[in-house]
Every structure is written in structure tokens, then in C-alpha cells.
Amino acid sequence: MPRYMIAKTIRTCFPIAVNAVAEKAEDINKLNVFPVPDGDTGTNMSLTLQSVVKELAALPVDADMEGIAGAITHGSLMGARGNSGVITSQILRGVAEGLKDAGEPVSSADVAAAFRRAVKVAFQAVRKPIEGTILTVLRDVSTKADECEKKKFTVEETLDALVVEAYQSVARTPDLLPVLKENGVVDSGAFGFAIFLENFVAAALGRTARIEDFSATFDAGSAKAGALDRVKIEANDDWEGSEFRYCNEFLFKAEKPFDEDETLKFLGSMGDCELLVGAYPDYKVHVHSNTPNLVLEHMLQYGQVYEVFIHNMDLEVAERTAKIHADQEADAEPAKPLGFVAVAAGSGEAEILESLGVDVIVSGGQTMNPSTADLLDAVSKVNAESVIILPNNGNIRMAAEAAASACEDKHVYVVPTKTVPQAFSALFAVMPDTPVEEVVEAMTEAKAEVRDGEVTRAVRDSQASDGTPIHDGDVMGIICDSIDIVGSDIKQVTLDCINRMMEDEEGDSLTILAGEELDDEAFQDIIDAIEEAQPDLEIDPHRGEQPLYPVIFSIE
């Protein structure tokens, strides 16, 4: 692989591997029992890696390996979150620095040198390395790289071997760290590192980024299976946790030279898991302590602190344990025949949908459409044999249908609702103990009977359905997807829409949702105006809290 290809490969494959870690973040979180079960290792690793992706994206197209290495080092340091994120940043820094001097084409010797550099940098960052963690897996991978170099493996053979070794090393972590064996899990950071390496290598070698059958892709027997067999989540209510309550992390810009070793000793005297990484003048500081104020005061002697995060790990432990119990209870319950996933843009919308029987809410709507992966993830959380998705937006329908087609372990259907009021009516049409195909048909017919409207502001000049000019900032009344009313006042446009709809076809009931920009007083003012204009219309008002649309309503 020519040197210019290294930079290109990293820029192409890094985001793919980062996405894989993000998708598995919650699984990685649940494994976290060391040094304290704060349940955020996957999240922290994902956020750290995403910071690198942003830094790489900002580079010029022709950036060389030195530029790539700089972006990885700076991005991972600035974005490092938590103990796991900081260590991950140092691993990335070491590998990137090691590749700056790679030959042309890249050889197994270059790969080995890069991982030797990563071991040196990462172990230097941790004052008291612990066996059975991500550092152990890194060292094992580096040792395997050295073996591949001696055997004169090709780069492809070397990379395959490193992924195999990573998972085998992850599977061994409980044998090296008692707390892991006691909890029946592998090390969370190590597992996250293996996932990143696997997906990066797969992308670099032109394979699928989502590898389900490890042994079929790599000639490695049960390497990955051995690790996954030990990824078991159990609630451990007897875990005593750390004697230190707060996880303190922040960025530090030194304004004068200071003794890094003495500072590390001070951090160690304040608590545990102390880290000081970076190079003058930019550093990342991490420590678990009961006195975060003293940590900050000490560092302020030498410069400025910023992006300060202080987490209460006792509370995180309680939340994690409660979530694991809830997950276990859900897993123990038999799957129900039918479940629902719905998209909602506001918290009020979500509460109403849940009250009508929706199992999982996906946040989204206009300008923030959820992806197919988001919807698939939501479907996976529903403990039901069949699942119906309510997209509640025309722009989300295709993603919902793609999710339905991609799901292999459940029967998934889409009722193509365009608005939340349509979803309300569709859910009211659900009859218990009815075949799912009949339920879908009934819901589709019910949503088709809904006449709905929306009130929002124009973001550009245009024209209404009758040719009336629309200017940026005008209030628009949208009736059944048609811009029919234009004005300057939300209340008046809402009233005009409802009056016109009642003229076209009378209705008995009005469901109306207030958006986040509409306060209670203004909302009540609108309701009073509607009651005066349409005294026979039964009004059902709610706080929808949806963005962008001050008012959403439907008439039936």
C-alpha cells in the first residue's frame, strides 16, 4: 500500500469503524464494571472517536500522513471522554505517529512498528496499568504484530491476525482481572477496541463493515465467538464501587511550564484513575475524586481549564443497575403478538403516543429525520413478534419501509402516517386479538379519514396553493399538505384553517397540539377563539412540544 494510500485509507475507514462502535455503545456500556460500574465506556469511546472523525473531515483533500496523524492526535485529545476515552486517544495517537514513517508500500513491519509506538504512548499515560483491560489487549495485539513481521506476513494477513488476537485477548480478560470474572463479563474498553479494530480492518480490506459471522470472514475458528460468549450482562447489587464519587475530566491549557510528574502525583493523592495526557501547552486531565474543587484549583495555578465534566458515579451506578434489571425483566417476558414504534418530534407527542400503546418512541420529524438504523434499533427493543412503525412524516416513510425490509427476526409493517394526529387515529383503530394484517389495514383506513392541519413559519419566499405570495417569516396554514392560508398571526391563521376545513366538511372533534414556541397563555387564547367560532366542535387540547410547528391539529 503506497504511503499516500495510508492517509486515504484512514480517512475512508475511520468513520466506518467509529459508526460500528457507536452502534455497540450501549452493549459496551453494560459491560463496564472496572474501575467503577459507571456504565459509560461505550459512550465515552464513541464520543472520543467521533471527535477524530470531525477533525479528519476538516482536513484538505490532499492531506498527507503527517496531517492525518496530527488530526487524530488533536481530535482524540480534545474529544476524549472518561478514562476509556483518554486511553483510546493515546492508542490512536501512538498508531498514527508510528505510521508517519511507514514505507512504500506499507509492510507488516510498519504495522508492527505502529502498534509498538501505541503501546509505548498508551502505557506511559497510565501510572498504574492493570492487567485484563484495553491496555492488555493492545499489548497482545502488538506482540502478534511482531510475530507477523518475523514470519514475513503480508499486510492483509497481518491485519487479519491482529483482529483475531484482539478478540482472543478480550476473551482472556476475565482470567486476568477478578472483578470481571465475578461479574461474568469481559473488559468493556477492550471489547470496544476490538470492535473498532475489526471494522477498520474489514473496511480497509474491502469487506463488509458489519461482520456477523467472524469465523467465515477470518480464518480464526471461534476467536470472536470466544469473546462474545463472555459478554454477558448481569446486575451485581453487591458491587461496592469506588471510594471516590466524582469522575472529573477537563481540558487544560498551560500558561507556564509545570512538573507533569508532580502533577500526576498530586492527582493520585486526590483519588484514583488519574491521567494527564497531551503535550505542552494542551492537556487532558482525568481523575476520580471526592474533591473536584481542589483538583481544579490546583490546575488553575498553571493555566486555564475548560470543557469541565464532573459526573456523580454513585448515581450512574444506580441508574445502570436499574436499567439492567429492567432489561432482564423485559427479556424474561414472553414476546407479545404486536408492538409499535412511532416517530415523535416533541416530548408531549411522545407521551400521548406512549399512552396509546406505542412501545418505543424515535425522536425525529421535520429537519431531523431518523435513519433506517435508528428505526431498526427501535424495532429491536420491542418485545413483540410483529411490529408496526408509524413514521408520522412523509420524509421518514422510505426509511421506515427500508427498516421493515431489513429486519430479519420480526415481522415489521409500516402504516404510512404523515402526521402525529394521523397516528393517534390509527392507534385508536387497533383491535386486540386481531391478525396483524387486519390491524394494519384498519389503521391505514383510520389515518386516511383524518383531516389535519399545521401552522408554521415560511423560511423562504414562495406562494400558496392559490398563488398568494409567501415571504420569509410569514405564518402559513397547511391543510392536508396544501398551503392554503397565509398571514402574520399564529392564532388567526390557525382559526382561518379550522374555519375553512369546517366549511368544506363538518367535523365533531378537534385534536390540537401546542408546539414548544407557544406558551400556555397563547395556546389558551387560540382555544378560546376556536370555541367562540366553532361552538359545536369538541376540542381536545394537548402540549405536543414539537419544534418548528406552533400548532398541529386534526378534525374528525
- Residue 223: pLDDT over 60: no
Residue pair 253/220 in contact by the 8 Å Cβ criterion: no
The answer for residues whose C-beta is within 8 angstroms of residue 346's C-beta and 6 or more apart is 365, 513, 515, 516, 544, 545, 546, 547
Nearest alpha carbon to residue 421 among 399, 462, 398, 390: 390
pLDDT at 238: 39
pLDDT digits 0-9 by tens, 474-528: 999 999 889 999 999 999 999 999 999 999 998 999 999 999 999 999 999 999 9
Confidence of residue 116 (pLDDT cuts 50, 70, 90): very high
Confidence of residue 12 (pLDDT cuts 50, 70, 90): confident
* Average pLDDT for 216-239: 41
The answer for residues whose C-beta is within 8 angstroms of residue 182's C-beta and 6 or more apart is 236
H or E element that contains 84: helix 82-99
Residue pair 169/189 in contact by the 8 Å Cβ criterion: no
pLDDT at 332: 65
pTM of the model: 0.51
Phi, psi of 499 (to 5 degrees): -60, -45
The answer for residues whose C-beta is within 8 angstroms of residue 161's C-beta and 6 or more apart is 144, 147, 148, 153
- Residue 236: pLDDT over 50: no
Nearest alpha carbon to residue 366 among 545, 517, 547: 547
pLDDT at 214: 34
d(Cα 202, Cα 346) in Å, to the nearest integer? 39
pLDDT digits 0-9 by tens, 256-288: 889 988 998 999 899 888 888 888 898 889 888
The answer for residues whose C-beta is within 8 angstroms of residue 545's C-beta and 6 or more apart is 346, 347, 348, 349, 514, 515, 516
Could you give the percent of the chain with pLDDT greater than 90?
A: 50
CA distances in angstroms from 552 to 318, 327, 393, 457, listed in the order given: 39, 35, 13, 13
CA distances in angstroms from 361 to 155, 298, 350, 389, listed in the order given: 45, 45, 6, 10
Confidence of residue 371 (pLDDT cuts 50, 70, 90): confident
Reading the block at residue 417, the C-alpha cell is: 402516517
Report the range out of 88-102, 269-283, 443-457 with the highest average pLDDT. 443-457
- Residue 53: pLDDT over 50: yes
d(Cα 260, Cα 279) in Å, to the nearest integer? 10
Cα distance from N-terminal residue to C-terminal residue, the chain: 66
pLDDT digits 0-9 by tens, 317-368: 677 667 667 766 766 678 999 999 999 999 999 999 999 999 999 998 766 7
Least confident window among 115-129, 197-211, 297-311: 197-211
* Average pLDDT for 154-164: 92
d(Cα 236, Cα 121) in Å, to the nearest integer? 34
* Average pLDDT for 411-424: 95
Nearest alpha carbon to residue 288 among 31, 77, 40, 28: 40
The answer for residues whose C-beta is within 8 angstroms of residue 216's C-beta and 6 or more apart is none
- Residue 302: pLDDT over 70: yes
* Average pLDDT for 225-239: 43
Which residues are bridge partners to 305 per DSSP?
A: 252
Strand pairing class (282-289; 246-254): antiparallel
d(Cα 150, Cα 116) in Å, to the nearest integer? 14
